[in-house]
Amino acid sequence: MLSAMATCNSHGQDSSYFLGWEEYEKNPYHPINNPNGIIQMGLAENQLPFDLLESWLNNNPNASGFTAQSNFGFKEIALFQDYHGLPAFKKALVDFMSEIRENKVTFNPNNLVLTAGATSANETLMFCLADPGDAFLLPTPYYPGFDRDLKWRTGAEIVPIHCSSSNGFRITESALEDAYQQAQKQNLKVKGVLVTNPSNPLGTSLSMHELELLVNFISSKNLHLISDEIYSGTVFTSPGFVSIMEVLKNKNLMNTDVAKQVHIVYSLSKDLGLPGFRIGAIYSNDDIVVSAATKMSSFGLISSQTQYLLSQILSDKKFTKNYLTENRKRLKQRHEMLEKALQKAGIRCLKGNAGLFSWVDMKRLLSAQTFKGEMELWKKIVYEVGLNISPGSSCHCSEPGWFRVCFANMSKETLVLAMQRLTSFVDSTVKKTNQSRHNRNSRKPKSLPKWVFSLSSFTTARSVKNGA
Ligand SMILES: Cc1ncc(COP(=O)(O)O)c(C=O)c1O
């Protein structure tokens, strides 16, 4: 009785990324009401600078638009509905985007399309750039939500660009080329590449070399490039953030066809910590894309009141300047706190400079270096340790043992507790492994009789023959 879309599985809801959230919801940690509950470390939410927004709102009680003193008034806001968006808000948003990029590039509000979060922006762009069955290439590991946002309703396909830990998961020319060839083998028409810069889940920003590689690649193959820059304001240490728009500008490509093939996705969910407000945007240099996406934005508009409120917050330049500096400072401190605690527990992370999470290498805790081993470890960490972290397999990582651990959605005290839980788990796992190794060794006779060697060479020869 229902449509194929309503009943199909391609939403990705059954990924361990979302299952972890469900487990957390059943037993959420609370310092007083549920001290043994699961701590949510699988949610890329930024609560660190929240007090700055709260105090701005306290100081600007008319900003909501509901009081008699507001510039707009309830009636104007309640009646205003135009899918081109409130001009004052679009201007304030593009200025904020430039500010994050240290005003090295400017954005034209006419090229901006407002959407209900980056989720809607990414899907809308897919609808504009790909037909069902067309493919986009994405570097792995990637944000698990992309399976839903890019594929589910559009019918587009994702082909992974496999990145590896051997070079810190950097994008290489050969990885791009391999993914392109792979798509061709699958008879998929490649329409573009989508990257997140800074990366979710890696917590690293793309290097100039990678950005130039991407521009050369899409230009030589005549593809689109979507740069999801939702974490651009979270870069807390060097190397800094370079927007794809800056690369186009530096290469004098702004007025060329290549520029028209490049589209930016943005949102205030991470940089301003407002995922509940659903404020997203597409920025495109192609007027046809802007026009089509604007029409499509009817299906996911931002409420007029939200636009009105945010236009005032973002127009307060003193506030945005202080907010961006303070946000970076707090994220840096948190990131250091997490890294130090993990290091103390003997766990290393990928060197990160951005984002609300660290990309953590837990290979040494795996019982087997497989994705099955990774799932076993993940279940132990969720149910026994009481931490919901996201396994690399849910981000399509090609190597088992990596996990994304979020650090900005909780209090300092909760992070300390989470690290205590993890440290005692690591200690007991390492102790158990050493103990079983010791037991195995102590069971072995000190000097082996000759027949053991002949038996072992017999076994090896047989194994090779069987291809084991
Ligand atoms: C890379 C990336 N893109 C898009 C989104 C969706 O963001 P929004 O809440 O603005 O829809 C997220 C959320 O985690 C994300 O990490």
Q: Choose among 153, 133, 206: nearest CA to 176.
A: 206
Percent of the chain as helix, strand, coil, to the nearest 5: 50, 15, 35
Q: Are 373 and 367 in contact (CB under 8 A)?
A: yes
Q: Does domain 62-320 have CATH number 1.10.287.130?
A: no
Q: Which of 448, 57, 437, 110 minimizes the C-alpha distance to 293? A: 110
CATH fold label, 4-50+321-425: Aspartate Aminotransferase, domain 1 (3.90.1150)
CA distance 50 to 450: 71
Dist CA 49 CA 329 (whole Å): 10
Helix ranges restricted to H, 252-297: 257-260, 287-296
Count of beta carbons in the 10 Å neighbourhood of residue 416: 13
pLDDT for the residue 13: 75
Predicted confidence (pLDDT) per residue in 225-267, tens digit: 999 999 999 999 999 999 999 999 999 999 999 999 999 999 9
Query: What percent of the chain shows pLDDT beyond 90?
Result: 82
Residue 188 to residue 156: CA distance in whole angstroms: 10
CA distances to 81, 237, 421, 434 from 339, in Å: 46, 14, 15, 25
Active-site residue list: 143, 228, 230, 270
Cα–Cα distance, 336 to 400 (Å, whole number): 25
Q: What's residue 245's pLDDT? A: 98
pLDDT of residue 190: 98
Considering the entire predicted model, what is its pTM? 0.92
Q: At residue 453, does pLDDT exceed 50?
A: no
Radius of gyration of the chain (CA): 25
Confidence tier at 431 by pLDDT (50, 70, 90) = confident
pLDDT of 100: 97
Token match 């660190």: residue?
Answer: 48
pLDDT band at 69 (very low <50, low <70, confident <90, very high): low
Reply yes or no on whether the pLDDT at 370 is more than 50. Answer: yes
**Mean pLDDT calculated for residue range 389-414:** 97
For ligand 1, atom 4, name the residue with the nearest CA.
118
Amino acid identity for residue 59 in this structure: N
**Tokens at residue 41, please?**
């470390």
User: Ligand 1 test: best mutation among 269, 278, 356, most atoms within 8 Å of CB?
Assistant: 269
The whole-angstrom separation of Cα 321 and Cα 97 is 12
Q: Is the CB of 280 under 6 A from ligand 1?
A: yes
Residues 435-446: tens digit of each pLDDT: 777 777 776 554
> From ligand 1's centre to the CA of 238, what distance in Å?
23
Ligand 1: nearest atom to the Cα of 121: 11
> 125 and 226 in contact (C-beta within 8 Å)?
yes
397 burial via Cβ count (<10 Å: 0-12, 13-18, 19+):
buried
From residue 445, alpha-carbon distances to 220, 265, 292, 453, 455 in Å are 64, 64, 75, 13, 15
Residue-wise pLDDT tens digits, 147-162: 999 999 999 999 999 9
Contact 329, 83 (CB under 8 A): no
Q: Phi-psi region for residue 174, left (φ > 0), alpha (ψ -120 to 50) or beta?
A: alpha
Q: What is the pLDDT of residue 15?
A: 82
Domains in the chain: boundaries: 4-50+321-425, 62-320
To test the pocket of ligand 1, the residue of 148, 230, 310 to mutate (highest count of ligand atoms within 8 Å of its CB) is: 230
Q: Summarize pLDDT for 323-352 with one digit per residue, the tens.
A: 999 999 999 999 999 999 999 999 999 999
What mean pLDDT, rounded, does the chain reach? 91
Instruction: Report percent pLDDT > 70 for the chain.
Output: 93
Instruction: Please tell me whether residue 273 adopts helix, strand or coil conformation.
Output: coil
* Distance (Å) from CA 430 to ligand 1 centroid: 36
